[in-house]
Amino acid sequence: MLESNKTQDAEMVNLPSYVLITPARDEAQFIELTVKSVVAQTVRPLKWVIVSDGSTDGTDDIVSNYAAEHQWIELVRMPERCERHFAGKVFAFNAGYSRVKDFGYQAIGSMDADISFGADYFAFLLRRLAEDPALGLVGTPFRESSNEIYDYRFTDIEHVSGACQLFRRECFEQIGGYVPVKQGGIDQIAVISARMKGWKTRTFAERTCVHAREMGTAQDGVLMARFRGGVKDYAYGGHPLWELFRIPYQMTKRPFVVGGLALGAGYVWGLLRHKEKPISREMVRFRRREQMQRLSRFFGKTLLDPVTR
């Protein structure tokens, strides 16, 4: 047992150092679970900056109590915003980033304020980065209240959920950090940008985190979140053929059938309205090419069309 502990200690020493940034807006209901998860980590961050984005529900008090006990936790307070949009999350993240960018860290994580995970969560992710220098961004699947996890036969193993994204520092700096886009998709742009720069991105299904609030429902209900997801699929260059397979797959998830229909309705709405794409044509082509390659691998034949070649 003693020898085993020595081996584990040696591995910990060789893991990359890291910092965390968590934008939080009115997360008093969940943030204590997140804080307890990070405090319990076998490998703690050099610094964790929690940015309260105009919270009014007691989030600041909870974070302040833990920051008083742990010097590596810092609370940064942002003024209240009248307008709520996804770009605000980037502004909050950047406020935290300004507090850590002079640290000598090797990895940087963006983490939601409503997730929880096991004590070896970050040690596991850091080990993956240490093992493969080509990896620029890593993460894990998340479980929601339904306790469902994506079936990675149909979900891109190279996409890393925005619930927790851990970047190699060089990768994060090369992509220029997060892009403040009001309609969302911030995490998706970061993942695609990293791969376009030649980095590997990967979700490792050997670990999971628990997402206390269902993704995309902070402002609206589940069906509206699915609808907005479909609009986003179109706006971020999702191939129509890819969406055609994605809709029936989503029908098998809660809320059954209607969730997939809402997703499809959002995509069609974006198509008919010629919803402006917040990403470059080069990124659209890159994403569609990847989607067709994945469908080709799944069905065992070539599905690439002239648009994506």
Residue 172: predicted pLDDT: 98
H or E segment to which residue 244 belongs: helix 240-251
Residue 217 lies in a domain: no
- For the ranges 9-13, 151-155, 285-289, the lowest mean pLDDT is seen at 9-13
Q: Which of 161, 182, 211 is the last residue of a domain?
A: 211
- 141/179 same-domain check: yes
Based on the number of CB atoms within 10 Å of its own CB, is 306 exposed (0-12), middle (13-18) or buried (19 or more)? Answer: exposed
- 165/247 same-domain check: no
Residue 156: predicted pLDDT: 76
Q: Which of 211, 245, 262 is the last residue of a domain?
A: 211
CATH code for position 75: 3.90.550.10
- pLDDT at residue 210 greater than cutoff 50: yes
Residue 195 lies in a domain: yes
Write the pLDDT tens digit of every residue in 240-290: 999 999 999 899 888 899 999 999 999 999 999 987 888 999 999 999 999
Write the pLDDT tens digit of every residue in 71-115: 999 999 998 776 667 789 999 999 999 999 889 999 999 999 999
Rounded-to-integer distance, Cα 220 and Cα 13, Å: 44
- For the ranges 23-37, 148-162, 196-210, the lowest mean pLDDT is seen at 148-162
Residue 94: predicted pLDDT: 97
CA dist 279 → 200, 235, 286, 291 (Å):
20, 8, 11, 16
- 26/133 same-domain check: yes
Rounded-to-integer distance, Cα 161 and Cα 172, Å: 15
- 172/257 same-domain check: no
Number of domains observed in the structure of the chain: 2
- 243/134 same-domain check: no
- 238/190 same-domain check: no
- 241/173 same-domain check: no
Please say whether the beta carbons of 203 and 140 come within 8 A. Answer: yes
Residue 306 lies in a domain: no
Owning domain of residue 17: 2-211
Residue 308 lies in a domain: no
Average pLDDT value for the chain:
89
- pLDDT at residue 2 greater than cutoff 50: no
Q: Which of 178, 211, 244 is the last residue of a domain?
A: 211
Residue 207: predicted pLDDT: 95
